[in-house]
Structure 1
Amino acid sequence: MYNRFRGTACRWLPAVALLALSAQAMGNTLNQNVSWTVDRAGTTAKYRVVAYGDSIYAGYNGSISNAAKYSAPTVDSEYLSALWNADIENIRRAKSGAVASDVYNNKIVAERSYMQASSTRVVTFEMCGNDGLQARSSFKSQTGTCDYSVLNNAVASCKTYVAQAMDYINANAHTNVKLKLIANLYYPGYNADNVQSTCRDAATGATVNLRDRFLPAIATMNYWMCEYARQKGFKCADSFAEYMGADYDSNGDGQIDSAALRYVAGDTEAAYVTRIATTLRATLRDANTHFVSSSSSFDYIQSDDVHPTYTGGTVSAGLWGGSTGSGAPRYTSFTSGKSPIWNNFGHERMGWSLSTYNPPTP
């Protein structure tokens, strides 16, 4: 077949290669929009979940043309379908590579109509991951005297647009919406960042450990995501705790590690950052090896060391447009509110975390 269409293939190859290179040059900044309906047998009611975000909610898998079918918001939709005995339409309006300002302006604001539909019951969003990744990349490349402003600016931008996003959703989501929530950041590349910088601290003249600098910055972003959620009527799904802490008590303090790391309403920024970056730091583990017991673990991060692992196939999402489809739920009921694979993959874990806030009725 290749020989038969050799001329056509040669004519198209440069264009396809150019598109791929363009996406890479933009840091994989591309729209990856998906609409997937969990079609539950014997039901007539249908409700909507709207999810705004970047590559995480997009289900990015390295492709410019497809994404995970079951990224976290769609996983959550399966839980809702069982809880409400209804069909759930999951609208994912995501832009891989987008920083917080881009998600806010070009997804949440520009595409507000999706959350304004009367069938909408849940609105969720995530952002700031690319602000952190870009700041990390910039800092890693520094020589001479370290400039910490790139990290500080990422934190400031995150705080600004998280607050604005919540205010905008509160003002624009349909009055039928019963749940609004944000998912905070896990720390991709936690082990890889345990190296010294190529720049030197202005005060000491010594290089600095990258993880020592990045961890408090991520913790600060996460604190304000959950704190603003508390202040503004949102819930906060703590992805950091679910990814970075084991599901058993590794340090003998009487708490499951993942539970001990969670944001606690009433925490001050200083108390939360100290708990994450100092007090419980010894319990943090790279999410490539998430321990669900002392002897069993699963890989929550894809080979790019950034994006969550998933199962259940892919859907069209990328340069050639998004996709709209439907299918029966993989699971029709959930024992103790958890699917059989709730902690086996990154997106399954995040989707379960979102589901813990689902209202009992639509």
Structure 2
Amino acid sequence: MRTQVGIVGGGPAGLLLSHLLHRQGIDSVIVERRSRAYVEGRIRAGVLEQGTVDLLAETGLGARMAREGLVHGGIEIAIDGARHRIDLAALTGKSVTVYGQTEVTKDLIEARLAAGGTIVYEADEVSVHGFDSDTPSIRWRTADGPQELHCDFIAGCDGFHGVCRPSVPAGRIRTYERVYPFNWLGILSQTEPVSDELIYASHDRGFALASMRSHALSRYYIQCDLDVKLDDWPDERIWDELKTRLGPEAAATIETGPSIEKSVAPLRSVVAEPMRFGRMFLAGDAAHIVPPTGAKGLNLAVADVRVLAEAFAEHFRDGSSAGIDSYSERALKRVWKAQRFSWWFSAQLHRYDGAEPFARRLQLAELDYLTGSEAASHAFAENYVGLPFG
């Protein structure tokens, strides 16, 4: 097989990159190790920055999002039960949209297949080769035997556990990492959300988040220990803990019900530098992971592939290498700002076991300043709705 850009990974980063390249007349092939059903069924975050929403709409992917997405002009922060609203729209003129990553993925797959795009699912033993030469390739195995894709460039959009980043020699890549001393326990329930907007809660018992996927589908999280066992957290216990951490106003109105999905998510911050290695480029979770507190993971992936698609278009259309040469630097500027925001927001909301009482008082002072100062609220809102693309 032969194409211009070989894309490893059929999640939203790889799919969107392929879609953007197609609009520029650039051929691509996506190689994905999982099945289509698995990719479409993965439960992930769903808060889209204004820039992400605009890009999807501008490139013909916004119709269902416009019908089903929930536009939020603000968020709430509950501090030991007392709720404070930050008006994102008034402070920045922008908003965020709740539209699940699962739905974004489905829209992208439909668009690629409708345009005749090639997506190889259930590719075993995927490997990348020759990215330091002029003849890079991607190899994999299917039921029909070994396969090979020759391409001009490789885009590593295969996530944190993919093959592209580990294929880089250790001496050429540096990884920065912070592992947080707690997990998130999440539940999905067919219940009406407790609020029209997200509620982030800081409580002496730990962090909580009230979110949603639709008007009838709620997503909740609570901070939990690293050694948490799901069997120790029946639904009733989770609902009781949510009522305590979200505060009396939410406890009085929250609709409870059986969970339809329950999971534990670790929190980490990871950045790999650089994001380009010869003719292979990393994008999305293959290059960086952020804690979900700031809702930046999917949005960073979108920002990466937007810049990368522009760089490839400059190369194939104009013969220019400027965009390719500057890709890593441009992408990493936004990545590190998102890491800073996600780390800072996480630090204010979570309970750190063993921390002295002084640290909790500093958290409360920081949150009081955030919710009471227009300047502080504006800086927060600017980061939350999304910084400009690099």
TM-score normalised by the chain length of structure 2: 0.23
Higher relative contact order (CA 8 A, sep 6+): 1
TM-score, normalising length from structure 1? 0.24
